Structure 1
Amino acid sequence: MPKAFPSWLVFVLLLLAAGAAPPSFARELPAQPASTRQAPARGGAVLGHSPRALPSPPPMLQAGGCAALYAAGFALTSAYEAPTSVPALARPQKGVGVREPTFGTCLVRATDRQADYPAGGFLRNDYSRRQAFNADGTRYLAFSPDGYWHQYDAASFRHLGVLKGLAGDAEPQWHPRDPHRLDYLPLNGGTVIDEIDVRRGTSQVVADLKAALPEWGASAEHIWTKSEGSPSADARYWGFQVENGKFELLGFMVWDQQERRVVGTRQASDRPDHVSMSPSGRWFTISSDDDGTWAWSPDFAQKKKLHHKSEHSDLAIGADGHDVYVSIDYQSNGGDVFFVDVDACPAVPADARSAPECPRTVLFRSYVNGSVGAMHFSGKAYDRPGWALVSTYGTTASRDGSLPWFADKIFALELKDKPRALGIAYHRSIGVSGLGYWSEPQATVDRGFRRIQFSSSWLSTSEGDIEAYQVLLPDGALGE
């Protein structure tokens, strides 16, 4: 099943309607594991990322009255055994928590498009691979189809207005320690990284990327991840594809935001679907439907083949601290959902024409007696290594007319052989005419796996009737 229509292109059209060569090297690279098959010590930091260094989140369950809906010792239950019929549930009022009838979680509507932004159409979550919540869990983002980004107070769900300076696909990235800082790019990637103080609405340029490129990047006008990438978990290392004014690929670069310097570059001409850094910063991924998905060392000296296609996926932290790639293989016999331990996979030299695909761990099979479904993955729970969030949609029935266990659910998936899958909510979103992509749930999770945000039409077929919703979880909900 092909990937959905990309958000960056939709934004371009909306806003327009409205008005391989030798790599270069730098002196310092992200630290590699002592052995590619040896895990870092359990509980140790991952390339400067330590959960203890991050701000402690506020008592989030007070938001929406969710604390009153949970009994002491609440834990999520298995999604494998949950019914596949979706119980009736009236659309919640904004900011008022209700009990999700199947899984017993606290569900809250996070936006009200008519009251918050009546001129703007839908308000929804951005994407599964992007973090919606700031460092201390006090604010979250939503966006509208006119290209504006909206910030909200996470305790009261109050709309705080649009963020000045962010236009269309600005690829906003919350800083992992400063809750008031948001880094972003010009529309469809300009040549700089901007930073905004969300309290004051003031922006400044914090990196001139074009000036750091070698000669082959002289005509660069769009430096970005093409909508789906993220920096490393500590926000130090960023990876970009570099394009000219016609969106033709010139090459790739890895940027050290802490030292304001290039780590490595490589000239190329085959434009991929998207690029990203792994959470540790040890790997830069290039994802192409024609050439597959590869993990490159930041100096572009070696590479690893993660997948033969570019499907919905994300990069997460495994239970042992390794970088992992989570995706789905529609060409496999079982439609396998799987993960790859990126650090443990053998590498080949940069100029190798081919490589074996990395060993994978199959998590579950999506082909169940003739059924097939689509899904998004979020690996953004960096403080809860070994877990990913999955949101499924567009699932067809099996030959006997039943739906598979994962249909239309949002669930936590353990990244291990024979994993637990813990049910969180039914998203209750159906395709809206002309807005199929925007009605996908595309759920994302905060760093501590305490708060999830997703998009839903809430069974409405009215055009533009799409909002952002959240599930708030108590500590210990994953049963650990």
Structure 2
Amino acid sequence: MSTRSLTHAVASGMAVLALTACGGGGSETATTAASKESTNTSKADAANLVVRARASLLANAGALMQLRVNGIAVADTEVRETSYQNYSFSVPSIAGGDKVDVVFTNDANANGEDRNLYVESITVNGTTVAATAEGVTLDRGIGDKAFDGLDVIPGQRSVLWNGALRFTAPGSTVIASTLSPGCKAFYEARPGFALSTARTLVTAATLAKPAKGAVLAEPDYGTCFTRATNHAADGVATFARNDYARRQAFNADSTRHLIYALDGHWHLYDAHTHARLKVLPYLAADAEPQWHASNPDLLYYLPTNGVGMQIHELNTATGATRVVTNLSARLKTRWPGANAAWTRSEGSPSKDGRYWCLMVDDANWNSLGVITWDRDTDTIVGTKNTNGVRPDHVSMSPSGNYCVVSGDDASGTVAYSRDFSQSKKLLHKSEHSDLAIDANGDDVYVSVDYQANVGDIFLVNLRTGVRTFLLPSYLNGSTTALHLSGKGFNKPGWVLLSTYADTVNRQWFHRKLMAVELKANPQVHTLAFTRVTSNEYWSEPHASVNRDFTKVLFNSNWNTGSATDVDAYMVQIPAGALKSTGLPGTPGTPPPAEPLTVAVGSVTHAGYNASYVLTTNQAAACRASWSTGNSYGALYDDIAASANGLTHTKSLSLGSTGAQTVYAVCKATATGAEKEVAIQLP
């Protein structure tokens, strides 16, 4: 990652919405402005919102509970029951994905009594969501401060302060709503749409650079495709691009995304209309913005390059900012020369935003150590000395159980437990990679291995340490550069792959965006061509996927070869488009791959010269070895292949004329499986 220049920015405000609708409640009387005007309620809207709640009283007064839908007050009541009761309301229609706030407005404590509201759950259109469910938050504050997104904690039953307990209404439209209206209509007009599974070499269809915002079908793969930025028209300096594949570009509900410019400014864009909304205040260059996991308005950020060792929170709607934590004093106690705490711009916190892995540098950028910080308790839960060996970057795993330190020193890439008491080596160096969640819910490290296996794309399960081959990036003498994005946390079992900078002999996976299943013999869906002609760092696609794996933001110079004339483009797919091929033995699952076998054919040995022929049962590449126990990637003496990779012929010059044994290691092209064979030279 390149160090970015400083930036300045502006803020904007948010309107406060007023009480407008009606409601009624269980054993209590619920009143609203609308109910005073009319007692007529449509049957479809009857009792469509139920809050299961209780209260503790003060001075014989219960808890005042107000309900809001998408910021608009729709009902209120006094909760007096001290055991949980259902409070039922008839309010205007609530759709899946709508925001429902249960607001407590009269917290008080006096004379040994404490008035509080307790909410067990809400039920919307017959579906119940617990107050402790993932994504529910409690925004603490009086009046407007209950909606400012500044003092937010995970949802809980005990609402012990004035504040808004915020839910997302359940329903099938929650995920579908992440599509822009244009792409939603695009797929509604194509009910038979299915993602491509073809692994064929094709040349990208000619396509003029689209107008910004125009909805079109990607000509080769049929996905909904739009141009998200036009840096010249948008007034963005030099380029308007997605920052990095390992950074989540989209906010919690996929309605906004980040754009980075060469002058160090960060811009906020509407992910549906593609309108540039504003320059974000306070963020400069390597500020490492990270979206809040559930609040779509909130964004965490660091001082540039982590100098000052603080983490801030920005409300992108209002421009308000606050310091979430100041680690300076604690880190200086541990390392007196501590000056910066960051991931080096390529890491991210856990899926829920609670745990952060940060590397600590001194003023001369010498590495001091690595820490794990717990946002919810504001505590440092683990530290590790690096003894001056600076990682390439660090990142927290999605579960928050592992701090992954990626380095090019002898230690390579290592997953440490949160407290650094245990470790597991994942790779011998730092490569383009990301951390993702597999179909079983385990953290996995997905990477390319150019050294040992000439470009295998693989995963390692952080819990078990098991390594699984996914795809080759080296085929028929051609390799490629690539990036991975594992940020589709709500669609476990998939990773986004973007490729660029291919060499001779183009292959089917070059210059594309692909959804890759996280399992052996994976399903691969090509989403689009990137139309990138690679020219240094800023031209790389750096594709990033949203949490639901319905939106992909990537960069392209549109085959101009420019290093900086780069804009962002977006591909959107329906929520149900990615379908796992299932577990072995279940319907629809392809049979396990046939094991690689290697047979020794004719062998000749005359004096110092010898030759042999190998045959494999599937396409493979083979390399010669003088000793046993080597991997394919550790060898360099290629064996010539023919017959589509099924026949392999080798001639040798020997160091002696006596009988001896030599070896060969073959690697299957499709699966990456390796097999060693011994060749007896009589």
On whether the aligned pair clears a TM of 0.5, the verdict is yes
User: 1:404/1:225 Cα in 2 relative to 1: closer, same or farther (>3 Å)?
Assistant: same
Distance 2:202 2:134 in 1: 38
How do 1:418-457 and structure 2 match up within 5 A? Answer: 418-432=521-535, 436-457=536-557
Distance 2:359 2:456 in 1: 29
Is the counterpart of residue 114 in structure 1 residue 270 in structure 2? no
Is the counterpart of residue 476 in structure 1 residue 576 in structure 2? yes
Amino acid at match of 1:331: Q
SS of 1:474's equivalent? Answer: coil
Is the counterpart of residue 230 in structure 1 residue 348 in structure 2? yes
How do 1:82-121 and structure 2 match up within 5 A? Answer: 83-118=201-236, 120-121=237-238
Q: CA deviation at 1:117?
A: 1.6
Match of 2:438 in 1: 318
Q: Indicate the percent of aligned positions where both proteins have the same amino acid.
A: 47
Is the counterpart of residue 341 in structure 1 residue 341 in structure 2? no
CA contact (8 A) 2:332 2:338 kept: no
Q: CA deviation at 1:465?
A: 1.1
Match of 1:297 in 2: 417
Is the counterpart of residue 397 in structure 1 residue 504 in structure 2? yes
Instruction: Provide the TM-score with structure 2 as the length reference.
Output: 0.59
Q: CA deviation at 1:65?
A: 4.8
Match of 2:87 in 1: none
Q: CA deviation at 1:476?
A: 1.4
How do 1:22-421 and structure 2 match up within 5 A? Answer: 50=134, 55=168, 56-57=174-175, 59-65=177-183, 67-68=185-186, 71-81=190-200, 83-118=201-236, 120-190=237-307, 191-213=309-331, 215-268=333-386, 269-290=388-409, 291-345=411-465, 359-398=466-505, 403-421=506-524
Distance 1:209 1:73 in 2: 53
User: 1:66/1:430 Cα in 2 relative to 1: closer, same or farther (>3 Å)?
Assistant: farther
Match of 1:466 in 2: 566
SS of 2:306's equivalent? Answer: coil
Instruction: Provide the TM-score with structure 1 as the length reference.
Output: 0.84
Q: CA deviation at 1:298?
A: 1.2
Match of 2:153 in 1: none
Residue ranges of structure 1 left out of the alignment (5+ in a row): 1-5, 17-47, 346-358
Distance 1:128 1:49 in 2: 29
CA contact (8 A) 1:216 1:250 kept: no
Runs in 1 of length 4+ with deviation above 4 angstroms? 48-55
**Residue deviations 1:134-166 (CA, integer Å, cap 9, x gap):** 001111110100000000112211111110000
Distance 2:355 2:455 in 1: 33
CA contact (8 A) 1:133 1:446 kept: yes
Amino acid at match of 1:286: V
Distance 2:440 2:178 in 1: 28
Q: CA RMSD in A?
A: 1.9
CA contact (8 A) 2:445 2:461 kept: yes
SS of 1:279's equivalent? Answer: coil
CA contact (8 A) 2:433 2:445 kept: yes
Higher relative contact order (CA 8 A, sep 6+): 1
CA contact (8 A) 1:275 1:286 kept: yes
Amino acid at match of 2:389: D
Identify which range, 129-138 or 423-432, moves more after superposition: 423-432
**Residue deviations 1:316-351 (CA, integer Å, cap 9, x gap):** 001101000000111234521000001112xxxxxx
CA contact (8 A) 1:264 1:298 kept: yes
SS of 2:405's equivalent? Answer: strand
SS of 2:334's equivalent? Answer: helix
Distance 1:99 1:136 in 2: 24
User: 1:63/1:213 Cα in 2 relative to 1: closer, same or farther (>3 Å)?
Assistant: same
Q: CA deviation at 1:463?
A: 5.3
**Residue deviations 1:31-54 (CA, integer Å, cap 9, x gap):** xxxxxxxxxxxxxxxxx9947998
CA contact (8 A) 2:215 2:225 kept: yes
CA contact (8 A) 1:255 1:262 kept: yes
Distance 2:349 2:196 in 1: 33
SS of 1:243's equivalent? Answer: strand
Distance 2:476 2:366 in 1: 43
Which structure is larger by alpha-carbon Rg, 1 or 2?
Answer: 2
SS of 1:188's equivalent? Answer: helix
Amino acid at match of 1:387: W
Amino acid at match of 1:405: W
SS of 2:358's equivalent? Answer: strand
CA contact (8 A) 1:241 1:252 kept: yes
CA contact (8 A) 2:344 2:392 kept: yes
Amino acid at match of 2:476: N
Distance 1:64 1:247 in 2: 47
CA contact (8 A) 2:355 2:374 kept: yes
Q: CA deviation at 1:464?
A: 2.5
Higher strand proportion, which one? 2
CA contact (8 A) 1:139 1:152 kept: yes
Distance 2:289 2:455 in 1: 32
Q: CA deviation at 1:266?
A: 1.4
**Residue deviations 1:228-273 (CA, integer Å, cap 9, x gap):** 0000000000000001111111111100001111111112221010
Amino acid at match of 1:456: S
CA contact (8 A) 1:143 1:150 kept: yes
CA contact (8 A) 2:136 2:294 kept: no
Instruction: State how many pairs are aligned.
Output: 418
Distance 2:437 2:343 in 1: 20
Amino acid at match of 1:299: D
SS of 2:537's equivalent? Answer: coil
Distance 1:132 1:179 in 2: 12
Distance 1:182 1:51 in 2: 15
Q: CA deviation at 1:373?
A: 0.5
Amino acid at match of 2:537: Y
Amino acid at match of 1:125: N
**Residue deviations 1:355-413 (CA, integer Å, cap 9, x gap):** xxxx3100011111100111000000000111000000011123xxxx11110010000
Amino acid at match of 1:282: N
Distance 1:144 1:292 in 2: 32
SS of 1:406's equivalent? Answer: coil
User: 1:310/1:62 Cα in 2 relative to 1: closer, same or farther (>3 Å)?
Assistant: closer
User: 1:66/1:465 Cα in 2 relative to 1: closer, same or farther (>3 Å)?
Assistant: farther
Distance 1:198 1:138 in 2: 12
Amino acid at match of 2:491: R
